[in-house]
Structure 1
Amino acid sequence: MAYRLKTSDKTLTAALRRIARAQIDRAIAAADRPGENPRDIHEARARCKKLRGLIRLVRPAFAGFDAENAAFRDAAKALERLRAGGAGLETLDRLARAASEGLNADALAAIRARFVAEALPHLATDRRADIAAFRALLSDARARIADWRLSSRGFAPARKGLQKTYAQGRRGLERARESGTAEAFHDWRKPVKYHWYHAQLLRPVKPRRIDPQRALAKALGEMLGEHHDLHDMRAHLAAGDFPSRAVAAMQAPIAAEMARMEAGALALGARLFEDDPEALARRWQRWWKDWQDH
């Protein structure tokens, strides 16, 4: 079932329950697929993030938010070990594609060989216990969905959640612009991703107007995620057992790519967060009402 509101949803509570059940079922199905395709683990964890985005939309009216948010966070963490093995390789390969002319081939090969060696123990890990823990956490959460309640009716819970997350994104933009630190860009990514989820959920109420917002949030979230991956890789290279010359040769390309992403992220963010949070939330509420009336 789609990650979006439907006119057939009698209430926002009904939509919340429907979408949550569907996401949990798909997350468990992805984790349970036979074989060891890292895309399945990535999908399962991504579903947990979408679940967290879903309940954050109605957080001001959802008393169970803290407990359920923790449950979905812990479920994703249960699979973290299975995902971690290939993360460095993926980041290195993206850097190689983006900055091929500025990379030293010997340094790249040496770093890649080390990442492959680090990934091997993860590939040999018995996945069953991690997947069982993941499944148990989500199954327990699914059983609680029937008891989910919102303290207010209509669009009010979503309006407040939408406004709060968008305001956090605006503040994150300002902090990233002012400090320029990797930590500020990483912290900014969280409300950006949540706003992207909210735009997906609310897209049906006004697709023509929400689609550009959704596309901007998606592009910005991906850029900030890749920026953080580079930051993590740089820290890992400095702390790990890598050839010192190869590490030194990688510093300039990593720094250049991070700087390029920071400039791009600030430009995208200026467009995405140009609106007043309260005005945006009121406008989307009007769209929802018109959508409900037709």
Structure 2
Amino acid sequence: MDNLSPASPRDIDPLTRQLLEVAAEASAGLAETDPVTRVHALRKTAKRARSLLRLIEGPARDEAATLRRQISEAARALAGARDGVAMADALADLAGHGLPAGFILPPSPAPEDGAGSTPAEADAAAALAALMEHGVGRLATGQAAPARGALIRGLARFYARARRAGRAVDPHDAEALHGLRKEVVIHRYQMEMAAEWWPRLGGFWLGELQRLREQLGRHHDLVVLQAHLADDDPDETAVAVIEAAYRRQGDLARKALRQHRRLFAETPRAFRRRLRTYARAERTYQADEEE
């Protein structure tokens, strides 16, 4: 990746810099020796890549959309490997929220030796990494830098989507909450660029978005656990776990939607105006430094 990295990061726009980081992350993720860690790293990078590719406008738009779909399909090949980890995380979350003592999770059909350990999964991981390392890297260096105004409009557009998804969601609708989580993930990765314009405030904002993402993620992990237990002709103890999971989901949904209301209180227009102000102030500061 050294041949794709500019000598001075300040000479390139934030979106290009983030795309180059994705390419480097993909290479590092594939090099992980532990298969579970490798799958987790690559799936995380794939989410970041897809979030950034959505912002590309202009002549590269069609290529970016195609690449985003290819990354999505390749990441789905590794999705099943995540279920075992999700159920373990759900049980850990339930430990202080009604999990019956001594409960043992019924065996999963997933391989016992861990995610990403089979030859097919290793090939899928390599294919996903190649799309991000070479496809995203090539796109980053080959596209014209987006104008700052176009980038801010894109950030505001996906902010509006995440805002709308949370305001319309039914807290008892697990599928809708999972859809909200996807929109929050997109907004969270995209906001890494805007965080550069005011790092202290940006870091706090990203932290609060991550907290919301994790709350919604724990809710979804419980959905995976419930589905696994329900498919296994649950006994009384498993039924008690399912009921405890429902109660915990209600608590997580309430907290997540309260957090969402705070983070997305601004109208999209006000959000866009605020980002423009931050970007303008940062540009003025850099110009003064260079004089």
Query: Mean Cα displacement is larger for which, 137-146 or 228-237?
Result: 137-146
Task: Tell me, yes or no, if structure 1 residue 219 matches structure 2 residue 217.
Answer: no
For 1:58-137, list aligned pairs within 5 A: 58=56, 63=61, 64-96=63-95, 98-99=96-97, 102-106=98-102, 108-109=103-104, 112-115=105-108, 118-120=110-112, 122=114, 125-126=118-119, 127-137=121-131
Task: Tell me, yes or no, if structure 1 residue 148 matches structure 2 residue 139.
Answer: no
Give 1:121 deviation, angstroms.
Answer: 6.2
Give 1:165 deviation, angstroms.
Answer: 1.0
Give 1:257 deviation, angstroms.
Answer: 0.5
Alignment partner of 1:274 out of 259, 262, 265: 265
Change (3 A) 1:146 1:118: closer
Give 1:119 deviation, angstroms.
Answer: 4.5
- Per-residue CA deviations over 1:202-235 (Å, capped at 9, x if unaligned) read 1120124333322221111111111111112212
Task: Tell me, yes or no, if structure 1 residue 265 matches structure 2 residue 242.
Answer: no
Matched with 1:34 is 33
- Tell me the distance in 2 between the aligned counterparts of 1:274 and 1:201: 21
Check conservation: 2:30, 2:126, Cα contact below 8 A. Answer: no
Give 1:139 deviation, angstroms.
Answer: 4.0
TM-score (norm 1): 0.82
Give 1:280 deviation, angstroms.
Answer: 0.9
Give 1:289 deviation, angstroms.
Answer: 1.6
Task: Tell me, yes or no, if structure 1 residue 171 matches structure 2 residue 164.
Answer: yes
- Tell me the distance in 2 between the aligned counterparts of 1:235 and 1:158: 40
Report the AA paired with residue 173 of structure 2. Answer: T
- Tell me the distance in 1 between the aligned counterparts of 2:57 and 2:217: 24
Change (3 A) 1:191 1:201: same
Check conservation: 2:9, 2:17, Cα contact below 8 A. Answer: no
- Tell me the distance in 2 between the aligned counterparts of 1:165 and 1:60: 17
- Per-residue CA deviations over 1:161-208 (Å, capped at 9, x if unaligned) read 1111111122111112x5631112111112211221122221120124
Matched with 1:4 is none
- Tell me the distance in 1 between the aligned counterparts of 2:246 and 2:227: 12
Q: CA RMSD in A?
A: 2.6
Q: Secondary structure at the match of 2:33?
A: coil
- Tell me the distance in 1 between the aligned counterparts of 2:93 and 2:84: 16
Change (3 A) 1:45 1:229: same
- Tell me the distance in 1 between the aligned counterparts of 2:153 and 2:56: 7
Check conservation: 1:189, 1:224, Cα contact below 8 A. Answer: yes
Check conservation: 1:61, 1:157, Cα contact below 8 A. Answer: no
- Tell me the distance in 2 between the aligned counterparts of 1:269 and 1:165: 14
Check conservation: 2:23, 2:134, Cα contact below 8 A. Answer: no
May I ask how many residue pairs the two structures share in their alignment?
275
TM-score (norm 2): 0.83
Gaps of 5+ in 1: 2-6
Q: Secondary structure at the match of 1:284?
A: helix
For 1:193-272, list aligned pairs within 5 A: 193-239=185-231, 241=232, 243-272=234-263
Gaps of 5+ in 2: 2-7, 286-291
- Tell me the distance in 2 between the aligned counterparts of 1:235 and 1:65: 35
